[in-house]
């Protein structure tokens, strides 16, 4: 569940910001002859509804229906007692409650005269909710994932600012981590405390406690001993926007070679464009001597998941992305290391488009 | 059996393959001979699963629904069941008729409700950490501190002590407070009620504690209200035994409110449930509500909490987790059943 700071902050993400996003998707609907777009949300598959409304459910699930014109309807099984909280954090939607939110949305589609509705990630929609919808209406449901992803690729100043803020929290958290550390908990406790005190909505910490043995990052118990080198991944949500940052460490002291690798990764985050071919961008970057890239993964927010893998060294696709997170495995004479940085945050958003 | 899960509704999946998924979606196919394959759509989660669950086969998918559908389509003459019915992705739900896929939700629900002894060992460890966590919460509560900073203290403590996850909501305020939610940046001030449900998870198993504290000395109305909740919780816990219904427990709690003329406040307008099951999900069946006729069985893990709105003081909570034993409740949480008070002299710097 989400249990960090969750509140509407007009200065960080304004109603005008999310209304512009809704307007952009509505223009795509018009062009595609779609009467509305339906999106599922829970706190795991939250990103599409968060993008359109700024709202993330801390618990339970819900449906958002954005008609081709007009205000979105947010239908949830959460009780009316939680309604005030939802209204306070989802100001651009009409909120309605029902133990059968699919049925409620289906009736709303009928009232609006919808014939064809796009569903983001239709195949992933809970079958029970689809059953509720088709139990009350014979509206045609079509997949709208591509349409949504395309509308969502526009770099958005508010989103980039939030991603930068999340990245700064992660950077500062790592900088504040204790330098004397023996156990996993010595580090993870301090990181979690820092990140949540800084107002993060969520924080996941994964660790590879001994990189010489295993570079895979997992949710490791606090009492496990750290090896000579270890890596930590911080996944942070701040006001609905997710980033990851992974750092590799020596257990006992700083190391010039590791510092050089980290600076190289910092440099990448200032130069790499997530929408361009990653392999060639990495090939032309000037890595520290003796370091070779053994693998990489590019993640981005394109659909319902806050971050999802869109390209790897084995699957090198290109697509327009608002921003990304690049994770790199590096081999050096000292061993293997893992680093991750948000990328594309330095690129300028286009001039805001779309009247509200 | 096909078992679906994500970090929200993970219990069915976790029962089958013991993986606590955090991101993306997971689907397990568990065969009758005990073979388990876990399909995950996130490569980092797959890495984590390969470390945390080294005895199952893990498959990373670009399109998890398509890949699992292909696997199901490859089964010939197999009896297939799936759970949970409501959450099964539409792309798989569409195969129900073609493959005569049975709904296994009820079978799994019973397995999830009645715990085996090994499961109860994790439950007892989680209960100890619920008590310790509430002590951290109480110590961190002080005038001027923001609600999210309070939660930060708890989460840090839990991460250092092997707690993988924690369900937690909070309320800060007075009579205007109608319930609990995630933190919104409220600063604690003198006279506030501070309510929380704390639900640490150990090895997948959640145990909950609900307590209320007052910033400064509690006033007479708050003390009087608390004694009512205390009486209702004890009435509910005393009712717990194999063979009674969930409704019987709820009625015992609600009758105390009715006795004091507060019957309106045990309705859905003011409260959700009077307790619920716990286990691999922090809010599982049976829901303790009048009208829920589920029979209580030995080995169930429940919380009894008469949490609701009180018209004079606001939303108040009190609840203890328990295992249903042969003769009644074995209460797990040991934090005193008090309306705690935080000294007004303790202020955040």
DSSP string of B244-266, one letter each residue: -BHHHHHHHHHHHHHHTT-GGGG
Strand-pair partners of A207: A218, A232
Grouped pLDDT means (10 residues each) for chain B, 349 residues: 96 97 96 95 94 93 96 91 97 94 97 97 98 97 96 93 93 95 96 97 97 97 98 98 98 98 95 96 97 98 98 98 98 98 77
A353 to chain B, minimum CA–CA distance in Å? 31
Q: Are the C-beta atoms of residues B33 and B17 closer than 8 Å to each other?
A: no
Give me the pLDDT at residue A354, please: 45
Q: Would the pLDDT of A291 be above 60?
A: yes
Cα-Cα-Cα-Cα torsion A39, A42, A44, A47, nearest 10 degrees, comes to: 40
Q: Tell me phi and psi for residue B194, to 5 degrees.
A: -120, 110
Tell me which chain B residue has its CA closest to the CA of residue A327: B44
Residues of A in contact with B157 (CB under 8 A): 189
Confidence of residue A180 (pLDDT cuts 50, 70, 90): confident
Contact A222 B166 (CB under 8 A): no
Residue A254's φ and ψ, nearest 5 degrees, are -75, 165
User: What's the mean pLDDT when you consider all of chain A?
Assistant: 94
- Chain A CB contacts of B94 under 8 Å are 127
Residue B137: C-alpha distances to residues B102, B132, B156, B207, B259 (Å): 45, 9, 11, 16, 33
The domains of chain B, with CATH numbers, are 2-113 (3.40.350.10), 117-342 (3.90.230.10)
CB pair distance less than 8 Å for B43 and A124: no
% of chain A residues with pLDDT over 70: 97
User: Is some CB atom of chain A closer than 8 A to the CB atom of B241?
Assistant: no
Residue in this structure with the two tokens 């989103």, named with its chain if needed = A159
- Quick count: other Cβ atoms within 10 Å of Cβ A155? 17
Cβ B90–A130 below 8 Å, yes or no? yes
Q: Are A21 and A59 in contact (CB under 8 A)?
A: no
Any CB–CB contact under 8 A between B169 and chain A? yes
* Residues on chain B touching A327 (C-beta within 8 angstroms): 44
Q: What percent of chain B has pLDDT over 70?
A: 99
Q: Tell me whether residues B52 and A223 touch, CB distance under 8 A.
A: no
* Contact call for A219 and B160, based on CB within 8 A: no
CA distance B285 to chain A (A): 15
A186 to chain B: which residues are within 8 Å by CB? 160
* Contacts of A115 by beta carbon, 8 Å cutoff, 6+ apart: A35, A139, A140
Per the CB < 8 Å rule, is A127 touching B86?
Answer: yes
pLDDT at A333 over 50: yes
Give the ipTM of the model, two decimals please: 0.95
**Alpha-carbon torsion (A87, A89, A93, A96), positive or negative:** negative
Instruction: Report pLDDT digits (tens) over B40-68.
Output: 999 999 999 999 998 899 999 999 999 99
B178, A43: Cβ pair inside 8 Å? no
Which site among B8, B43, B66 would you substitute to test the A interface, given the most A Cβ atoms closer than 10 Å to its Cβ? B8
For B218-231, b/e burial (b = at least 16 CB within 10 A) is: beeebeebbebbbb
- Tell me if chain A has a CB within 8 Å of the CB of B144: no
Domain boundaries, chain A: 15-152, 157-343
The pLDDT value given to residue A351: 57
CA-nearest of A149, A66, A121 to B90 is: A121
Q: Show Cβ contacts of residue B222 under 8 Å, excluding neighbours closer than 6 positions.
A: B193, B214, B313, B339
Q: Which of residues 104-143 of B touch A (CB under 8 A)?
A: none
User: Would you call A189 and B160 a contact, using CB atoms and an 8 Å cutoff?
Assistant: yes
Quick check: B67 contacting A, CB < 8 Å? no
Q: Choose among A58, A80, A189: nearest Cβ to B182.
A: A58
Going by the DSSP 8-state scheme, the letter that residue B270 receives in this structure is T
**Start-to-end CA span in chain A (Å):** 33
Contact A58 B181 (CB under 8 A): yes
Tell me: the pLDDT tens digits for A107-159?
Answer: 999 999 999 999 999 999 999 999 999 999 999 999 999 999 999 999 999 99
Residue A350 has pLDDT above 90, yes or no: no
Q: Radius of gyration over alpha carbons of chain A, in Å?
A: 22
User: Which chain A positions have a beta carbon within 8 Å of B93's beta carbon?
Assistant: 127-128, 130-131
Q: Which residues of B touch A305 (CB under 8 A)?
A: 23-24, 42
CATH value of A15-152 in 3.30.60.50, 2.70.70.10, 3.40.350.10, 3.40.50.620: 3.40.350.10
Give me the residues paired with residue B28 across strands.
Answer: B3, B38
Q: Which residue of A has its CA nearest to B167?
A: A1
Q: pLDDT tens-digit profile of A18-54?
A: 999 999 999 999 999 999 999 999 999 999 999 999 9
What are the chain B neighbours of A80 within 8 Å (beta carbons)?
Answer: 269
Q: What residues in A contact B14, CB-CB < 8 Å?
A: none
User: Cβ separation of A188 and B151 shorter than 8 Å?
Assistant: no
Identify all chain A residues contacting B88, using CB atoms and an 8 Å cutoff: 126-128
Positive/negative CA dihedral, B156, B161, B164, B170:
negative
pLDDT computed for residue B349 by the predictor: 53
Between A194-203, A345-354, B197-206, B227-236, the lowest mean confidence (pLDDT) is in: A345-354
User: In angstroms, what separates the C-alpha of B325 from chain A's closest C-alpha?
Assistant: 30
Contact B159 A192 (CB under 8 A): yes
Q: For residue A194, give the chain B residue with the closest CA.
A: B152
A234-282 per-position pLDDT tens digit? 999 999 999 999 999 988 766 788 999 999 999 999 999 999 999 999 9
* Architecture, CATH, for domain A157-343: Alpha-Beta Complex (3.90)
A122 DSSP assignment = G
Q: Which of A199, A222, A308 is the closest to B159 by Cβ?
A: A222
By Cβ distance, the residue of A42, A81, A206 closest to B6 is A42
């Amino acid at each position: 569940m989400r249990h960090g700071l969750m509140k509407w902050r007009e200065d960080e993400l304004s109603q005008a910001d999310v209304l512009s996003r809704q307007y952009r998707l509505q223009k795509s609907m018009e062009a595609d002859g779609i009467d509305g777009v339906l999106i599922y949300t829970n706190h795991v598959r939250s990103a599409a509804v968060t993008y359109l409304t700024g709202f993330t459910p801390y618990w339970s699930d819900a449906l958002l229906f954005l008609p081709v014109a007009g205000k979105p309807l947010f239908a949830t099984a959460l009780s009316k007692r939680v309604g005030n909280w939802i209204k306070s954090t989802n100001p651009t939607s009409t909120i309605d409650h029902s133990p059968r939110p699919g049925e409620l949305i289906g009736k709303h589609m009928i009232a609006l005269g919808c014939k064809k509705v796009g569903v983001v990630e239709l195949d992933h929609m809970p079958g029970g909710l689809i059953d509720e919808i088709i139990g009350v209406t014979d509206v045609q449901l079509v997949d709208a994932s591509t349409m949504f992803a395309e509308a969502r690729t526009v770099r958005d100043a508010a989103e980039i600012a939030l991603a930068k803020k999340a990245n700064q929290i992660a950077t500062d958290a790592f900088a504040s981590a204790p330098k004397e550390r023996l156990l996993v908990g010595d580090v993870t406790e301090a990181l979690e405390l820092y990140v949540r005190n800084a107002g993060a909505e969520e924080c996941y910490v994964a660790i590879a406690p001994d990189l010489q043995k295993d570079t895979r990052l997992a949710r490791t118990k606090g009492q496990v001993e750290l090896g000579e080198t270890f890596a930590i991944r911080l996944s942070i949500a701040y006001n609905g926007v997710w980033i990851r940052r992974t750092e590799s460490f020596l257990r006992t002291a700083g190391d010039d070679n590791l510092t050089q690798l980290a600076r190289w990764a910092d440099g990448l985050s200032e130069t790499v464009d997530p929408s361009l071919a990653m392999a060639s961008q990495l090939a032309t970057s000037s890595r520290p001597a003796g370091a070779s890239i053994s693998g990489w993964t590019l993640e981005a927010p394109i659909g319902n998941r806050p971050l999802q893998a869109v390209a790897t060294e084995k699957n090198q696709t290109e697509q327009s992305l608002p921003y990304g997170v690049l994770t790199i495995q590096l081999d050096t004479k000292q061993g293997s290391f893992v680093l991750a940085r948000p990328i594309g945050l330095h690129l300028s958003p286009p001039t805001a488009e779309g009247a509200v | 059996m096909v078992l679906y899960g994500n970090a929200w509704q993970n219990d069915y999946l976790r029962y089958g393959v013991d993986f606590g998924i955090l991101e993306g979606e997971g689907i397990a196919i568990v065969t009758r001979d005990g073979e388990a394959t876990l399909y995950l759509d996130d490569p980092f989660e797959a890495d984590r699963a390969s470390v945390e669950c080294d005895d199952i086969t893990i498959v990373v998918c670009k399109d998890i629904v398509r890949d699992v559908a292909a696997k199901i389509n490859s089964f010939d003459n197999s009896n297939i069941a799936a759970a949970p019915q409501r959450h099964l992705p539409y792309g798989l739900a569409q195969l129900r008729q073609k493959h005569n896929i049975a709904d296994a939700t009820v079978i799994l629900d019973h397995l999830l409700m009645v715990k085996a002894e090994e499961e109860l060992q994790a439950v007892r460890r989680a209960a100890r950490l619920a008590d310790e966590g509430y002590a951290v919460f109480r110590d961190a509560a002080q005038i001027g501190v923001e609600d999210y900073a309070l939660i930060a203290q708890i989460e840090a403590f839990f991460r250092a002590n092997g707690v993988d996850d924690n369900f937690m909501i909070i309320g800060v305020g007075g009579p205007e407070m109608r319930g609990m939610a995630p933190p919104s940046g409220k600063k604690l001030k003198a006279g506030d009620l501070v309510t929380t449900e704390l639900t640490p998870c150990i090895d997948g198993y959640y145990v909950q504690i609900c307590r209320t504290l007052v910033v400064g000395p509690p006033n007479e109305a708050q003390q009087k209200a608390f004694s009512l909740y205390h009486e209702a919780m004890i009435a509910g816990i005393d009712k717990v035994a194999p063979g009674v219904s969930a409704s019987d427990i709820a009625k015992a709690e609600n009758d105390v409110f009715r006795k004091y003329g507060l019957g309106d406040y045990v309705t859905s307008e003011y409260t959700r449930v009077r307790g619920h099951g716990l286990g691999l999900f922090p809010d599982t069946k049976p829901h303790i509500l009048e009208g829920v006729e589920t029979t209580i069985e030995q080995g169930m893990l429940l919380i009894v909490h008469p949490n609701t709105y009180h018209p004079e003081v606001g939303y108040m909570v009190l609840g203890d987790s328990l295992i249903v034993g042969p003769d009644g409740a074995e209460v797990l949480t040991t934090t005193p059943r008090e309306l705690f008070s935080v000294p007004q002299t303790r202020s955040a710097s």
